[in-house]
Amino acid sequence: MSQTMQTEPDVDQASVPLLECRGVRAGYGDITVVRELDLAAAPGSVVAVLGPNGAGKTTLLTTLAGLLKAQAGEVRIDGSPIRAGQPAAASAAGVVLVPDDRALFTTLTVEENIRAARGGRSRDALDRVFGWFPALADRRRLAAGSLSGGEQQMLAVARALVQDPRVLLVDEMSMGLAPVIVEDLMPMVRRVADDTGAVVVLVEQHVRLALEVADRGLVLVHGEVVLDRPAAELAADPDTLERAYLGEGVA
Ligand code: ATP
């Protein structure tokens, strides 16, 4: 008698999102700021999180980084849930946040800033990061506080990259920078995703520039995702974007 072989179904690893949020709710005490947020991002993709002031964008990033404990829902990296409100767990899973205040040690040199972020990692990591940012390599012995705004932002990203992020969270990279500087910096985000396979979640007020480098654009209004579409589609439809920002319903 022939016997039928029972085999495990093939698990297609490529179909497992690198970053996934399921019903994430976040806020402060009794206040809920982000409501039931779902998100799935494949390796090497850039997600632009857009929306008006106070929509909950930074709250979402701090929740993903484990700095704020989600009120409900789940964040998964490579399919594994990350313990909520545990920065060390998020960090061990490869989640790195570039905060909007850049969090540099202004009296330390460029190189010291990068070394401080690197922890025990190899010299190669430092060289690799300087390869990404030749302008920083040239200024490695200067105090971080003496750099221009754009260079300081580069340094903040360099400090994140030296940690080999799998999920890079970038909050308002353009804060306080002239648009022309932002235009130079933004392609770097695309390159990080393309070259390292990391997911980049980019919170940004410069909507047009963010959508130019993103794969997907998500608009948060009052903590709810009111639009979630391919970035190119959103970039080509400014009217829909504007209506979403104003809290008007979009089809
Ligand atoms: P912006 O674009 O202005 O930076 P945002 O979309 O990043 O805004 P959040 O900073 O996440 O928005 O803030 C969302 C809401 O949460 C705001 O109403 C804000 O006042 C509130 N909020 C932020 N931080 C705290 C906190 N530590 N305690 C209480 N409420 C907070």
Q: Tell which wins on pLDDT, 122 or 156.
A: 156
Q: Is 101 in the pocket of ligand 1 (CB under 6 A)?
A: no
| Amino acid making up residue 178 | A
Q: Is 84 in the pocket of ligand 1 (CB under 6 A)?
A: no
Give the global pTM. 0.90
CB neighbour class for 67 (10 Å; exposed up to 12, middle 13-18, buried from 19): middle
Instruction: Note the pLDDT tens digit of each residue in 76-124.
Output: 999 999 988 889 999 999 999 998 777 899 899 999 999 888 776 667 8
Q: Is 174 in the pocket of ligand 1 (CB under 6 A)?
A: no
Instruction: Note the pLDDT tens digit of each residue in 92-103.
Output: 999 999 987 778
Q: How would residue 207 be classed by pLDDT, with cut points 50, 70 and 90? A: very high
Q: Is 187 in the pocket of ligand 1 (CB under 6 A)?
A: no
Query: What residue's CA is closest to ligand 1, atom 4?
Result: 53
Q: Is 53 in the pocket of ligand 1 (CB under 6 A)?
A: yes
Give distance in angstroms: CA of 205 to centre of ligand 1.
Answer: 14
Q: Residue 244: its pLDDT value, please?
A: 87
Which letter, b or e, does each residue of 38-54 get, where b requires 16 or more Cβ atoms within 10 Å of its Cβ? ebbbbbbbbbbbbbeee
Instruction: Note the pLDDT tens digit of each residue in 51-79.
Output: 999 999 999 999 999 999 999 999 999 99
Contact indicator for 119, 191 with CB cutoff of 8 Å: no
How many secondary structure helices (H) and strands (E) does the chain include?
10, 10
Give distance in angstroms: CA of 194 to centre of ligand 1.
Answer: 31
What is the C-alpha end-to-end distance of the chain, expressed in Å? 59
Q: Residue 3: its pLDDT value, please?
A: 44
